[in-house]
Chain A
Amino acid sequence: MKVLMFGWEFPPHITGGLGTACFGMTKGLAKNNVDVIFVVPKAFGDEDQSNVRIVNASDITINLDHEKDRMYWNRVQYMEIGSNIIPYVGVEEFTQMVETGSNVYENFRGNVFAPSYEFSGRYGANLMEEVARYALIGSAIATQNDFDVIHAHDWLTYSAGVAAKETTGKPLIVHMHATEFDRSGENINTDVFAIEKNGMEKADVVITVSNLTRQIAIERYGIDPQKVVTVHNAVEPSEKTVLKHDGSKGKLVTFLGRVTYQKGPEYFVEAAYKVLQRDPNIRFVMAGTGDLIQKMILRAAQLRIGNRFHFTGFLQGNDIDQLFSMTDVFVMPSISEPFGIVPLEAMRSNVPVVISKQSGVSEVLKHALKVDFWDINALSDAIYGLCHYKALSDFFIKYGKEEVENIKWEHASYKIKKVYESLLS
């Protein structure tokens, strides 16, 4: 069995959990004897390719005279991406574009057809353009390769998935790692919403990463519950044995993730303040960056906890392992988290975790303290308890590790394989 998979990022070049999840999933599929052609917009060349064949979308040449591509491009237009709103363009920049009288739609279309166009491979200002271009390439790749099913990850690749389905007639699975409601709260980008909705409607099966996300797909996008399946994410077993840093210098509490609204960083800062009132020897770390980072730094300074509350910026690879090896409590206070893979990585490194009830991962975890994201008191209480009551933390470390070692991608990928098989029979 062979899958044509559309992604947006792949380790080591990642901006979020999607890349990590795709990596684990493809490995798991390989173990279940499933071949994968993984398409990413821009391969940097140093991705781990032992389990997957990475096709760099920038390498595919498109013959624009090809009738099928033309045909497909007409569909793209029909998909309403070309409206005058382009996401991630600042208000000022956008106004400027309108004022100078340049027709955004024309520019948009013009760029998409420019032959020297290159995918940047990062979420950027001309994201929609890249999405449309990616879709165009999707159908080209589909006609040039042999496979059984199409699997597209998150809205950025849905158009490509749909295009591939329409040119080949092969079944399509779309995988919801996050919804627009998770990313933006109630102020959703309607174009993104439309792409998500269209992708799920055209798909034969929708896979969601948690029941929480499944509910959103059904209730807010109106998708038929019959074709929405939950497959929880998993975590790769750690190959490294990381030595635990001795706790002689006081306990360390860690937040790791994008510092954005969705992740609830402010609850972490406020809880840190409360805990420090009681025990000034604990240290807090906020690892990651995002649009709320300056606000968080300023808030920590206002609360006068700057010498106990540290910011590391964006971390990758070894730095994350090192941070976990020093950490005594990991906190994920997400306001809305479709899944949330990081607590599993923490538990794998023998770190007890506190997670919000509003996260998908709380559906699968038993050995984690769960609190409502807004309940700062409960959050501080949990942090304080895990720092001070050894029996509690020992318990969580021991059983947490056991638990997380059984949440394997091999199992998750097996469920995904079953989904493929159901579509082929």
Chain B
Amino acid sequence: MNRSICFYFQVHQPFRLRTYRFFDIGRNHYYFDEYYNKLIMRRVAEKCYLPMNDLLLSQIEKYKSKVKITFSFTGIVLEQMEMYAPEVLESFKKLIATGNVEVLSETYSHALCSINKRDEFERQVALHRETIEKHFGVKPKCFRNTELIYSDEIGATVADMGYKVMLAEGAKHVLGWKSPNFMYVNAINPKLKILLRNFRLSDDITFRFSQQSWSEWPVTTEKFVTWLNRIPDNEEIVNIFMDYETFGEHQAVSTGIFDFMAHLPEAILTQTNFKFATPSELAKKLQPVSAIHVPNKMSWSDEERDLTAWLGNALQDDAFDTLYKLTEKMKLVDDEDLIRDWNYLQTSDHFYYMCTKWLSDGEMHKYFTHYSSPYNAYINYMNVLSDFSECVDLHLKTKESTKLKNNLKKQKK
């Protein structure tokens, strides 16, 4: 029997905020750290995006349609590529043009709005679709939500938006005895198929690849293939989902991650009965085994696989509520700069920096933050948000008064 393996890589960089002091409120309306964002984009481009794209391209050239890859890009990472690393964007275009790469749909700015703001969620997804089509000339058919956040309700919304497949975490607390290696469907709308991440095999690469204290270290293609072959024959798919920055950035080149990835396709194709596939192909090919019930939101982040990396403590909740209180007002705004800032401020990373869970995933959180403490992250974000909401109010007021003036003119005529 032929089984499938699906590799999906997430490509994302936030627009990090500059140190925005209280004194800046009402005086300076630029919130982002251009220097730092450029620095990181250049670093990741050199260490990860460019070498890894080359590697994948050579694999596709070698094995043609036998190797298939799936990518999801946030709108804001594409913006940063355009600004700071156009050659990276070109190299992704080249990869996608091979026809062996599927591109997924998601929110434009890696936002958390699927949680509570359906309108905003739909706006973000539509904006993202436009962007993907503009850059790559493809229309995404399959959906992945920010941080793989999923619940029955979010799935139903995504189905309403016309998608047939969605990716989610194969979280232990949701699956119980069930295996992630089958196709499932949404519990509310069975038309939406759900692909679940095999977190064990995914994390073997993402987190444990260079962990020398781990009994299975070092990870070799032989070992990986053995693990794949150990999966019971009736299980149909293995979903390896991870951040693209794993290659060369989280796992440095010195760990041998690139060599591993250069030999993995050959090993899989010759030593297992797994074939590469993309989510849309799987949706066509496979029949679901059952519905998956996820009443509470889950994600692919931290040990808990829930939303507590971004929401839950008082700092995060205050910031989140204050931000989304602006949703209705933002519907009336037609100023490009304000809409841009509104998008950027929704990025989940800002809330991640405010996380105070230091026990289980402290190291991970520390790795990703540029603030000295979650308190500083909160103060800085709230200062920015204060200025932003003042700008929004001012804009709407001006808009209202020009409208009144125009009406008066018309009446006079």
Name the CB-closest residue of A to B325: A307
A307 touches B314 (CB 8 A): no
Q: Does A319 contact B (CB under 8 A)?
A: yes
Of residues 313 through 355 on chain B, the ones whose CB sits less than 8 Å from some CB of chain A are 313-315, 317-319, 321-322
Residue interface mask A265-298, B partner, CB < 8 A = 1: 0000000000000000001010000000110011
A310 to B380 Cα, complex, angstroms: 9
A residues in contact with B148, CB < 8 Å = none
- Knowing A298-B315, A306-B322, A307-B322, the reply to whether A312 touches B22 (Cβ < 8 A) is yes
- Knowing A306-B318, A307-B322, the reply to whether A297 touches B385 (Cβ < 8 A) is no
Residue interface mask B116-138, A partner, CB < 8 A = 1: 00000000000000000000000
Listed residue (B22, B313, B319, B383) with the most chain A CB atoms within 10 angstroms of its CB: B22
A249 to B26 Cα, complex, angstroms: 8
A305 to B318 Cα, complex, angstroms: 8
Residue interface mask B297-320, A partner, CB < 8 A = 1: 000000000000000011101110
Q: Does B195 contact A (CB under 8 A)?
A: no
| Nearest CB on B from A246, distance (A) | 11
B385 touches A322 (CB 8 A): no
Name the CB-closest residue of B to A326: B23
A297 touches B378 (CB 8 A): yes
Q: Does B93 contact A (CB under 8 A)?
A: no
A312 touches B21 (CB 8 A): yes
- Knowing A249-B390, A297-B375, A297-B378, the reply to whether A310 touches B318 (Cβ < 8 A) is no
A302 touches B314 (CB 8 A): yes
Of residues 87 through 116 on chain A, the ones whose CB sits less than 8 Å from some CB of chain B are none
A residues in contact with B379, CB < 8 Å = 297, 310-311
Q: Does A13 contact B (CB under 8 A)?
A: no
B residues in contact with A294, CB < 8 Å = 373, 375
A310 touches B386 (CB 8 A): yes
Q: Does B382 contact A (CB under 8 A)?
A: yes
Report, as a range, how many residues of chain B touch the other chain. Answer: 20 to 34
Residue interface mask A123-149, B partner, CB < 8 A = 1: 000000000000000000000000000
Of residues 12 through 29 on chain B, the ones whose CB sits less than 8 Å from some CB of chain A are 21-23, 25-26
Which of A310, A312, A319, A323 interacts with B382 by CB under 8 Å? A310
B318 touches A304 (CB 8 A): yes
Q: Does A68 contact B (CB under 8 A)?
A: no
- Knowing A249-B390, A301-B317, A312-B21, the reply to whether A307 touches B385 (Cβ < 8 A) is yes
B residues in contact with A285, CB < 8 Å = 22
Name the CB-closest residue of B to A294: B375
Listed residue (A283, A293, A306, A322) with the most chain B CB atoms within 10 angstroms of its CB: A306
| Nearest CB on A from B353, distance (A) | 14
A305 to B378 Cα, complex, angstroms: 12
A310 touches B314 (CB 8 A): no
Q: Does B221 contact A (CB under 8 A)?
A: no
Q: Does B369 contact A (CB under 8 A)?
A: no
B375 touches A306 (CB 8 A): no
Q: Does A308 contact B (CB under 8 A)?
A: yes
Q: Does B389 contact A (CB under 8 A)?
A: yes
B22 touches A307 (CB 8 A): no
A residues in contact with B373, CB < 8 Å = 294
A15 to B382 Cα, complex, angstroms: 27
| Nearest CB on B from A7, distance (A) | 31
B residues in contact with A298, CB < 8 Å = 314-315, 375
Name the CB-closest residue of A to B385: A307
B residues in contact with A310, CB < 8 Å = 22, 25, 379, 382-383, 386
| Nearest CB on B from A268, distance (A) | 15
Name the CB-closest residue of B to A293: B375
B319 touches A306 (CB 8 A): yes
B residues in contact with A308, CB < 8 Å = 386
A residues in contact with B315, CB < 8 Å = 297-298, 301, 306
Name the CB-closest residue of A to B379: A311
Of residues 291 through 335 on chain A, the ones whose CB sits less than 8 Å from some CB of chain B are 293-294, 297-298, 300-302, 304-308, 310-312, 319, 322-323
B residues in contact with A302, CB < 8 Å = 314, 318
Name the CB-closest residue of A to B322: A307
A307 touches B389 (CB 8 A): yes
Listed residue (A285, A298, A302) with the most chain B CB atoms within 10 angstroms of its CB: A298
Which of A249, A306, A319 interacts with B378 by CB under 8 Å? A306
Name the CB-closest residue of A to B356: A298
A305 to B325 Cα, complex, angstroms: 13
A319 to B24 Cα, complex, angstroms: 12
Which of A304, A311, A323 interacts with B321 by CB under 8 Å? A304
B residues in contact with A307, CB < 8 Å = 318, 322, 382, 385-386, 389
Name the CB-closest residue of A to B383: A310
Which of B21, B23, B318, B383 interacts with A301 by CB under 8 Å? B318
| Nearest CB on B from A138, distance (A) | 38
A residues in contact with B23, CB < 8 Å = 312, 319, 322-323
A222 to B22 Cα, complex, angstroms: 46
A300 to B378 Cα, complex, angstroms: 11
| Nearest CB on B from A162, distance (A) | 42
Listed residue (B21, B315, B318) with the most chain A CB atoms within 10 angstroms of its CB: B318
| Nearest CB on A from B294, distance (A) | 29
A298 to B314 Cα, complex, angstroms: 6
B22 touches A311 (CB 8 A): yes
| Nearest CB on A from B174, distance (A) | 30
Name the CB-closest residue of B to A302: B314
A310 to B315 Cα, complex, angstroms: 13
B386 touches A301 (CB 8 A): no
B residues in contact with A293, CB < 8 Å = 375
A122 to B314 Cα, complex, angstroms: 34
Name the CB-closest residue of A to B388: A307
| Nearest CB on A from B396, distance (A) | 16
- Knowing A306-B319, A306-B322, A307-B382, the reply to whether A301 touches B314 (Cβ < 8 A) is yes
B residues in contact with A304, CB < 8 Å = 317-318, 321-322
Name the CB-closest residue of B to A299: B314
| Nearest CB on A from B146, distance (A) | 23
A249 to B397 Cα, complex, angstroms: 14
B22 touches A306 (CB 8 A): no
A residues in contact with B25, CB < 8 Å = 310
| Nearest CB on B from A73, distance (A) | 42
A283 to B22 Cα, complex, angstroms: 11
Of residues 238 through 283 on chain B, the ones whose CB sits less than 8 Å from some CB of chain A are none
20 A/B residue pairs, CB under 8 Å, sorted by A:
A293-B375, A294-B373, A297-B378, A298-B375, A300-B318, A301-B313, A301-B318, A301-B319, A301-B378, A304-B318, A304-B322, A306-B318, A306-B378, A307-B318, A307-B382, A307-B385, A310-B22, A310-B382, A310-B386, A311-B22
Top 4 closest pairs, chain A to chain B, by CB: A301-B314, A301-B318, A306-B318, A302-B314
Apart from the given pairs A249-B26, A306-B318, 5 other A-B contacts in the complex at a CB distance below 8 Å: A283-B386, A298-B375, A302-B314, A302-B318, A304-B318
Q: Chain A residues in contact with chain B, CB under 8 A?
A: 249, 283, 285, 293-294, 297-298, 300-302, 304-308, 310-312, 319, 322-323
Q: Chain B residues in contact with chain A, CB under 8 A?
A: 21-23, 25-26, 313-315, 317-319, 321-322, 373, 375, 378-379, 382-383, 385-386, 389-390
